[in-house]
Amino acid sequence: MFVDSFNFHNLGPDDLRWSITVDILVPLGLAGPILFFLLSKLRELAIAHELLRRHAATDTLTDLLNRGAFTREVEEALADARFAEDGMRGTLLVVDADNFKAINDTYGHEQGDAALRLIASSIRAVLRSADLVGRIGGEEFAVYLPGTTLLIAEAVAERLRQAVYAAAFAPEGKPHQLTVSVGGAVYDRHLPFAELFRLADQQLYAAKQNGRNCIAVTSIAHYETLPAAAA
């Protein structure tokens, strides 16, 4: 018999219990599993999206940020720093493995990849959680140190250099000394990423010219006019 559940005053006790079961308890019983299923699917989609985002931003060899992701994150940090309580201050370091071609030529690209992974882990080991590090190409890495002075930047660059120098690398059981040169630029006013990178790269070139396995860090505060790009 059809039960008009919206006219409760016409229902007897048995019909009323049946109406409550059909109209309230059954939907509630079905809603739980359906809601759980939908939430599970949403969680799976969110996890898949995050994995894709990380994969797109990660250098697969070293597990560091790739060049595009590093550049974007530093540009965002530079924009946010305008409103930071400690003011506009930070450092960009550019790190290059010395004589890296000799590793590939002597031991092969597989050992070259192992050296890059070791350098990457050595760099990451001396950084803070707030710092950014990426592999920006070949044997070149970059590090962003927010809120740092020239003194702190030089100390971090030197610790980084020493960490790589102390790393044990022995391809085919033959010890091979790894070294890096580090160039850096410290800023205390807004500077576009491209300009900051250019200054840090100039300092890297100076470190290479000074014999490699050393650091060269400058501050834009030392310049009334920033040095021009090399011709």
pLDDT band at 38 (very low <50, low <70, confident <90, very high): low
- Establish whether 139 is a catalytic residue: yes
pLDDT digits (tens, 9 = 90+) for 143-165: 999 999 999 999 999 999 999 99
- For residue 5, pLDDT over 70 is answered with no
pLDDT digits (tens, 9 = 90+) for 49-80: 545 555 567 999 999 999 999 999 999 999 88
Assigned token pair, 175: 């010890």
Closest CA to 102 of 36, 155, 174: 174
Which of 139, 140, 195, 224 is labelled catalytic? 139
Predicted local distance difference test score (pLDDT) of residue 19: 63
Measured between alpha carbons, how far is 56 from 207 in angstroms, rounded to an integer? 32
Predicted local distance difference test score (pLDDT) of residue 114: 98
Q: Please give the residue that has the higher pLDDT: either 116 or 57.
A: 116
What are the CB-based long-range contacts (under 8 Å, 24+) for 202-208? 202/227, 202/230, 203/94, 204/94, 204/95, 204/96, 207/181, 207/182, 207/183, 208/96, 208/98, 208/181
Most confident of 44-58, 124-138, 188-202: 124-138
pLDDT digits (tens, 9 = 90+) for 172-182: 999 999 999 99
